[in-house]
Amino acid sequence: MRRLLMHSPIAIALFWIGAYLFLTTLPLFILLIYPPPGGRGFWIEFSVALGFIGLAMMVLQFVATARINRIEASYGIDILLQFHRYTSLVAFFMVLLHPVMLFIAQPETLSLLNFFTAPWRARMAVLGTLAFIALVVTTIWRKPLGIPYEPWRTSHTVLSVLAVGLGFGHAIGVGNYLGLFWKAVLWGAIALTALWLIVYVRLVKPWLMMRKPYLVEEVIPERGNVWTLALRPWGHEGFCFQPGQFAWLTLDITPLSMREHPFSMSSSGDHSERIEFGIKALGDFTNTVKDIKPGTKAYLDGPYGVFTVDRYQDAAGFVLIAGGIGITPMMSILLTAAERQDDRPYLLIYASKTWDDITFRENLEELKDKLNLTIVPVLREPPEEWMGEQGYVDKDLLARYIPKHKGSRQYFICAAPKMMDQVERALHDLDVPVTNVHMEHFNLA
Amino acid sequence: MRYSIMLQVVGSMTLVLVGTGAFFAWLQNRSAPSQTIELQTKENQSRF
């Protein structure tokens, strides 16, 4: 599968799209086996179909976000979460269209909106839709609404379970298509799968993590308001990882709470006995990292991610483009490559604000002696005597450094979203094959 | 770039799903001749 992905990402994409469409529409067509009598009119049946498709899509959202390694290994968790965002909106509009079409086709059904007189099946539909609306609103406008990440994650879980549970209850209550026992059992099994996945991610997996704790060994200050958090496995062997991957980190509290955060490892992927994370003090949680005392208990869920050079063993070399804290996975990639005595050329283009802000500056200089490594620092606010690159990583700058045979390299970008988009566009303009460009978005919330 | 490709993919998938929903509605709403239904019902009843 992995070799096929490297040679034909389009084939893998088609496979997953086909699987998604099949899983979304199969439960619908099963309803047509021994169907209820028709003759209710096209628009009513169409509205019902959209309702069922919306419900099936809602269930599949639980699969997309369950951190299932086999699915995640195809494209990476950031792509998967973006897919989750887009398809959630599609499901949302289908679920909204279902009653709207019904109200237009049969205006008398508007009376079902009267919560006090309506039957329970209609009440469940109203409550489920309200839960879905709250889910979408609190997710899209989380930051403007000032909802902190952790309460949002808890409410996201509760609202999603409510939306699917009430939607399913509504379909069972109406009973037109789910009137036969085996159909109700089948759709019930689908809804229970969603429930199991969320129980697995939020309870079972954290419980398994609790059996493999880590201890904070050191918190090391780095340049650029970054802190290296070093963890040592306690009572187990830890894990090796592919350089560039990340893990979900929970500190000082049980992993059953919702306070886990994704961070890239910055240490060598081949050393499971000490795992390091580069963390920039940017938000509520990351600002507290500097105060963490050695000996604090930590839990890790990982490794995750496809942002790794290990997937491209046949590449002739690598171009790493980092901005700010985006250096963290690059550091892991370079350290691991140096330890493995990789003789392929590495080009690191690293954008920072000032010369003093270049995180891991000294460590990177040391790596130049152990690797075929070229470092191009790009400063936004360079000192007066600066002779190097300055400004932004744009098309002209990239054209000066990337090799003539552009397809011979694999390109890895990790930076702020705006810079990543600009660099990706510039590489595209420079005729770098789109399948050779790899990015890791960290805006997972 | 990747996200815009994905947006196009999700857009196409939405069209397929809406089309499937319409197909489902058409299948379920096909007007079967009432006489045929009556005949079939009688036939089924006579079997049991």
Give the chain B residue nearest A435 (alpha carbons). B2
pLDDT of residue B41 exceeding 60, the answer is: no
On chain B, the residues whose CB falls within 8 A of the CB of A46 are 21-22, 24-25
Share of chain A above pLDDT 70, in %: 93
Whether A45 sits inside 8 A of B28 (CB atoms) is yes
State the nearest Cα–Cα gap between A180 and chain B, in angstroms.
Answer: 17
pLDDT of residue A155 exceeding 50, the answer is: yes
Two tokens, residue A324 = 């700010």
Bridge partners for A264 per DSSP: A246
pLDDT value of residue A74: 65
What's the whole-number average pLDDT of chain A?
88
Please report the residues numbered 164 through 193 in chain A whose beta carbons come closer than 8 angstroms to any beta carbon of chain B: none
Cross-chain CB nearest to A49 (options B9, B24, B30): B24
Whether B26 sits inside 8 A of A42 (CB atoms) is yes
pLDDT value of residue A394: 92
CA A47 to chain centroid: 32
pLDDT single digits (tens) A64-85: 777 766 666 666 777 888 889 9
Cross-chain CB nearest to B9 (options A17, A43, A50): A17
- Residue A387's φ and ψ, nearest 5 degrees, are -110, -5
- pTM comes to 0.75
On chain A, the residues whose CB falls within 8 A of the CB of B6 are 79, 82-83, 86
Closest-CA residue to A298 (of A330, A261, A352): A261
Size of interface A-B (CB pairs under 8 A): 77
pLDDT value of residue A35: 82
Closest-CA residue to A135 (of A151, A154, A150, A155): A155
Handedness of CA A249, A253, A255, A259 (dihedral sign): negative
Q: What number is the ipTM of this complex?
A: 0.74
Strand ranges (DSSP E) for A182-286?
A: 214-222, 226-233, 246-251, 260-264, 275-280
pLDDT single digits (tens) A206-254: 888 888 999 999 999 999 888 999 999 999 999 999 999 999 888 866 6
How does residue A255 score in pLDDT terms, banded at 50, 70 and 90?
low
Whether B25 sits inside 8 A of A83 (CB atoms) is no
On chain A, the residues whose CB falls within 8 A of the CB of B22 are 46, 49
Handedness of CA A443, B4, B8, B11 (dihedral sign): positive
Strand ranges (DSSP E) for A178-305?
A: 214-222, 226-233, 246-251, 260-264, 275-280, 297-304
pLDDT value of residue A335: 95
Whether B10 sits inside 8 A of A424 (CB atoms) is no
CB atoms within 10 A of CB A419: 19
Reduce the DSSP state of residue A298 to 3 states and report it. Answer: strand
pLDDT single digits (tens) A299-343: 998 888 888 999 888 899 999 999 988 999 999 999 999 999 999
Q: Which of A2-6, A285-289, A291-295, A362-366 has the lowest mean pLDDT?
A: A2-6
pLDDT value of residue A231: 95
How does residue A442 score in pLDDT terms, banded at 50, 70 and 90?
low
Bridge partners for A375 per DSSP: A348
